[in-house]
Structure 1
Amino acid sequence: MTEPHHENSYRAQRKPRAAFATREAYLEHELQVMAPRRWAPNYPFRDYRFEWEDWIPAMAATIGKVVMVAAIVAAFATPLGLSAEFMTENIRFEMLIAAVLFAFFLSGFLNPTANLPGTHGPLIPMIPLVVASGGHPMALGIMIGILGFILGITKGGSLLTRLTSNGVAGGLLLYLGFIGVTSQVGRLFSWAESFDKGYIAFIVLLATIVMYALLEHFRKRWLAIPLGCLLAGLIAFALGAPFEFTTEPGLPNMNPAYWWGESTGWQLGLPDLKAFLAVTPFAILAVAMWSPDFLGHQVFQRLNYPKNTDRVIMNIDDTMIGAASRQMVGSVLGGANITSSWGTYIVPAAIAKRPIPGGAVLTGILCIATAILGYPMDLAVWPPVLSIALIVGVFLPLLEAGMQMTRKGKTTESAAVVIFSSAIVNPVFGWSLTVLLDNLGLIGCKERGQELGHTGRWIIPGIVFALLCVVMLAIGMFPGVPAVVRAFQIQ
């Protein structure tokens, strides 16, 4: 699988910072001369370098990892009646798995075109349904890993990406960005109003808007995450918002037998065949959500990177293989994380004009330090820090990218339909339906559909849409329609 590579081509072509008039020009040149090796060793200073801009996505990724893994673990553990202490230990365990095996080894060493495997946020609301239907965290993880690995090695992810037009992708980014921003604004106000100081949320958000505008003006938008978090934290604390450190330093139990014991860890034992059958519809839907998610991340890189940087653009199929591997390894070891492409890493990295590997290594370092020290976990999940990090680091950039993608050509029809249909059910329904309508030529660019042939126009999009509808019908995701799977729930 290794691509042709000229030995030391990066070191031969790179130039020092002093050779460029601006730092931006230097960073763009670094992207253009990198020649990463796929599925082969990549070494710092021979194949890539570290720049201080790499700390930006590393910080954002670490904050996002704490928050998202905490949400996944809590969604599994709460219905099972497990303690807060258990959740903290499992979060630490998951962060160490992600840091050592995948941030360091996969994206920093083995394949710098595979984005880091992160957390599958859109699946969180469905986890209580998984538990209620007799699902098991290990069974779900293994099934997602198997399906994702098959999709990756057959290059199904990149195929679905090619069938998705700019209008559909742009509309999806607009929807996800808008929903994300409004959700975080609502959460921030709810947090501040819980101790009768709702004005704190307003002041924090207003200060963030001014800061973001100034950074845009001075072309320093990549500083939005650290400055935004610092500003939000200082303002909230100065105005009397409650905060305290509670998570002490330590290491989690590293023994998988403890996590999957009958009376220890998850207290579930090992999954049986019934558990695997119960999670299959959810696993199919989780992997189906990968394609639009991965596409959005790749598109964001292309919009922010200069020309002639295809070699460092995220490879969707390799990222799927990496995410599937991380899913199976983490689940077998005892973690509950549901994996997807690491959005809180790749979006800030693209803004900072940095390739994947350098920041991946720094992300691993920060995740290990956070997991062991404990106290940074408290700061990362503090609402003003968390919400502002997600708004300026992920959701506002997604909005901007979506607007850029819908500026040219006949893209607005497709963008509007994908937003409308996503609002009715969810983004995976909106994406699959609009891809079908768009490729058939009913909306968007009519000429584009004619160039795809029968397979690309309606056969593959039709099969994908029908399969996803069956799965969503089975688990009750259509509004007003009861879940079919409950009628066949295995006792």
Structure 2
Amino acid sequence: MSEKQQNYQTLHKPQAQFATRKDYLDHELEIMAPRRWGMNLPFRDYRFEYEDWVPALAATIGKIVMVAAVVAAFAAPLGLSNDFVIDNVRYEMLIAALLFVVLFSGFLIPTANLAGTHGPLIPLIPLIVVSGGHPMALGIMVGVLGLALGVLRGGSLLARLTSDGVCGGLLLYLGFIGTVSQIEALFTWASGFDMGYLAFVVVLATIVLYAYLEHLRARWLAIPLGCALAALIAFALGAPFEFTTEPGIPNLNPAYWWGADTGWQLGLPELHHFIAVAPFAVLTVAMWPPDFLGHRIFQQLNYPHKAQKVLMNIDDTMCVAAARQVVGTALGGGNLASSWGTYMVPAAIARRPIPAGAILTGLLCVIAALWGYPMDLAVWPPVLSVALLVGVFLPLLEAGMQMTREGKTSQSAAIVIFSSALVNPVFGWSLTMMLDNLGLIGDRERGIGMSRLQRWVIPIVMFGVLCAVMAAIGMFPGVPALMESFRSLD
């Protein structure tokens, strides 16, 4: 037995020897020494705690919702039915759980976050289809580009170039936009059956519960208690709900999903499909670094300082997400992978490492996919919106505020919020990172220890490439897409 394996078992102490539960969980994080690309086993290298069920539950709810949103965004312009969407989501959950969540994050690379879903790209999917894109071509290209970025350690490099002010501003922007969108979604849902007051009651009760849990220092319970409270209130006030997804196993044959007359009804992609999706694939992978960085920063804000060994490795997470993207797409799934935020944020709040909750997440995903009925409850608007509010967006706001307390960081944060509101978070991140590293805003002494390549060349080239891609597909407000302009000339 190696020294690292002996360390955890030797240093582990029962909870009774600690004054508080927090002290026990912090000690667990500090003594863990996960091995990269080595077998990490439960009870030998880490333990299961009841807090691990919180991120597992949140991640399962988030997975059902986000994958359904991605597949539905593809299905609508392709004329595919709702039954296709449900079957593909169940298939995707089995792929994620059995092939990647448990195997990689649970055993082989316990510092790689789970491969989740790329939510920010959902609004662009109809444009991808209209532009002649093919889901398989897009998925494979995203996977290949993401793997290259991860292997070359580009993700960690971009993370080092992103200051606390830039990252904090991103967290504030994403947290605020997400909070507003979920509250609006709740009111839209409740107004659909003339019970708009129901949304008000649910949100108000959630605020009171969240504040009380903050007072008790038990914020990690916000997701299960918040979802349960929202469901009970909605049921009690007469909101409509019924179970419609029956137990079953989705079609597991990739040939069915990529057939010309079955599944996606598209057949295999050709060269022109890859050309059509190339700009979108570049943009997708460019969105990864700020997303991944935000998840790691959230761990750093909640974990004890000595727990450096269990922090999420950005490059390994990129490699796992890219591999999951290629395999999932080849098998017939419609998911677009990214770092799993609805898992990482609650796990960080609960002070738990990645592997134990990953195994429980895989178990819950398999149960939900085969049983069927939990999928209906997870996508019910009061449960869904409250889970995202208390599990992701409110914690993002809090983390962003913590990172932008100083004047130097708040200046960069204000610029990234301003520019993100103008275009999108990718534009805001790349522009502010460039200005910050050039010394025009933020901490002007920060770039002293950087090389010219890191301080000037990489940020400028990154901003230029991303602007070119966004201009090509029409993401600048009021500016026609260059791709469409070139087509009109032809």
TM-score under structure 2 length normalisation:
0.98
Offset at residue 449 of structure 1 (A) = 2.4
Q: Distance in 2 between matches of 1:382 and 1:198?
A: 16
1:336 to 309, 334, 337: 334
- Counterpart check, 1:110 vs 2:108: yes
The 3-state SS of whatever aligns with 2:5 is coil
> Residue 5 of structure 1 contacts residue 35 of structure 1 at CA under 8 Å; is this kept in 2?
no
Equivalent pairs counted in the alignment come to 488
1:263 to 252, 261, 266: 261
> Residue 243 of structure 2 contacts residue 376 of structure 2 at CA under 8 Å; is this kept in 1?
yes
The 3-state SS of whatever aligns with 1:339 is coil
2:72 to 58, 74, 77: 74
1:325 to 311, 323, 326: 323
> Residue 60 of structure 1 contacts residue 389 of structure 1 at CA under 8 Å; is this kept in 2?
yes
1:249 counterpart residue number: 247
Q: Which residue identity is paired with 2:45? A: D
TM-score under structure 1 length normalisation:
0.98
Counterparts of 1:335-414 in structure 2 under 5 Å?
335-408=333-406, 410-414=408-412
Write out per-residue CA displacement over residues 84-137 of structure 1, whole angstroms, 9 at most, x where no aligned residue.
Answer: 111100000000001111111010011000000000000000000110111111
- Counterpart check, 1:196 vs 2:164: no
2:21 counterpart residue number: 23
Q: Which residue identity is paired with 1:151? A: L
> Residue 115 of structure 1 contacts residue 341 of structure 1 at CA under 8 Å; is this kept in 2?
yes
1:142 counterpart residue number: 140
Counterparts of 1:64-103 in structure 2 under 5 Å?
64-103=62-101
Q: Distance in 1 between matches of 2:391 and 2:249?
A: 29
Offset at residue 39 of structure 1 (A) = 1.0
1:452 counterpart residue number: 450
The 3-state SS of whatever aligns with 2:408 is coil
Write out per-residue CA displacement over residues 226-279 of structure 1, whole angstroms, 9 at most, x where no aligned residue.
Answer: 000000000011001100000000000000000000000000000010001111
> Residue 411 of structure 2 contacts residue 442 of structure 2 at CA under 8 Å; is this kept in 1?
yes
Q: Which residue identity is paired with 1:138? A: M
Write out per-residue CA displacement over residues 390-432 of structure 1, whole angstroms, 9 at most, x where no aligned residue.
Answer: 0000000000000000113511110000000000000000000
- Counterpart check, 1:283 vs 2:281: yes
Counterparts of 1:295-334 in structure 2 under 5 Å?
295-334=293-332
> Residue 164 of structure 1 contacts residue 435 of structure 1 at CA under 8 Å; is this kept in 2?
yes
2:39 to 41, 52, 55: 41
Offset at residue 224 of structure 1 (A) = 0.1
2:204 counterpart residue number: 206
Offset at residue 172 of structure 1 (A) = 0.4
Offset at residue 484 of structure 1 (A) = 1.4
> Residue 117 of structure 1 contacts residue 341 of structure 1 at CA under 8 Å; is this kept in 2?
yes
Offset at residue 40 of structure 1 (A) = 1.2
> Residue 133 of structure 1 contacts residue 489 of structure 1 at CA under 8 Å; is this kept in 2?
no
Q: Distance in 1 between matches of 2:406 and 2:353?
A: 27
Offset at residue 489 of structure 1 (A) = 5.6
Write out per-residue CA displacement over residues 341-365 of structure 1, whole angstroms, 9 at most, x where no aligned residue.
Answer: 0000000000000000000000000
Q: Distance in 2 between matches of 1:392 and 1:300?
A: 15
Q: Distance in 2 between matches of 1:226 and 1:5?
A: 38
1:483 to 468, 478, 481: 481
Write out per-residue CA displacement over residues 160-209 of structure 1, whole angstroms, 9 at most, x where no aligned residue.
Answer: 00000000000000000000000000000000001000000000000000
The 3-state SS of whatever aligns with 1:410 is helix
> Residue 5 of structure 2 contacts residue 44 of structure 2 at CA under 8 Å; is this kept in 1?
no
Q: Which residue identity is paired with 2:342? A: T
Offset at residue 7 of structure 1 (A) = 3.2
Q: Would you identify which runs of 4 or more consecutive aligned residues in structure 1 move more than 3 Å?
A: 487-491
Q: Distance in 1 between matches of 2:340 and 2:270?
A: 30
Offset at residue 285 of structure 1 (A) = 0.3
The 3-state SS of whatever aligns with 1:36 is coil
> Residue 133 of structure 1 contacts residue 486 of structure 1 at CA under 8 Å; is this kept in 2?
no
> Residue 278 of structure 1 contacts residue 489 of structure 1 at CA under 8 Å; is this kept in 2?
no
The 3-state SS of whatever aligns with 1:411 is helix
> Residue 36 of structure 1 contacts residue 112 of structure 1 at CA under 8 Å; is this kept in 2?
yes
Offset at residue 488 of structure 1 (A) = 4.6
2:170 counterpart residue number: 172
**Structure 2 CA distance for partners of 1:175 and 1:477, relative to 1, 3 Å:** same
Supply the RMSD in Å over aligned alpha carbons: 1.2
> Residue 5 of structure 2 contacts residue 45 of structure 2 at CA under 8 Å; is this kept in 1?
no
**Structure 2 CA distance for partners of 1:284 and 1:360, relative to 1, 3 Å:** same
> Residue 436 of structure 1 contacts residue 462 of structure 1 at CA under 8 Å; is this kept in 2?
yes
2:6 to 8, 17, 32: 8
> Residue 91 of structure 2 contacts residue 252 of structure 2 at CA under 8 Å; is this kept in 1?
yes
Q: Which residue identity is paired with 1:147? A: L
> Residue 151 of structure 1 contacts residue 157 of structure 1 at CA under 8 Å; is this kept in 2?
yes
> Quick check: 452-461 or 321-330, which moved more?
452-461
Q: Distance in 1 between matches of 2:68 and 2:437?
A: 39
Offset at residue 8 of structure 1 (A) = 2.5
The 3-state SS of whatever aligns with 1:263 is coil
Q: Distance in 1 between matches of 2:10 and 2:150?
A: 33
Q: Which residue identity is paired with 2:75? A: A
Q: Distance in 1 between matches of 2:448 and 2:50?
A: 47
1:434 counterpart residue number: 432
Q: Distance in 2 between matches of 1:291 and 1:137?
A: 23
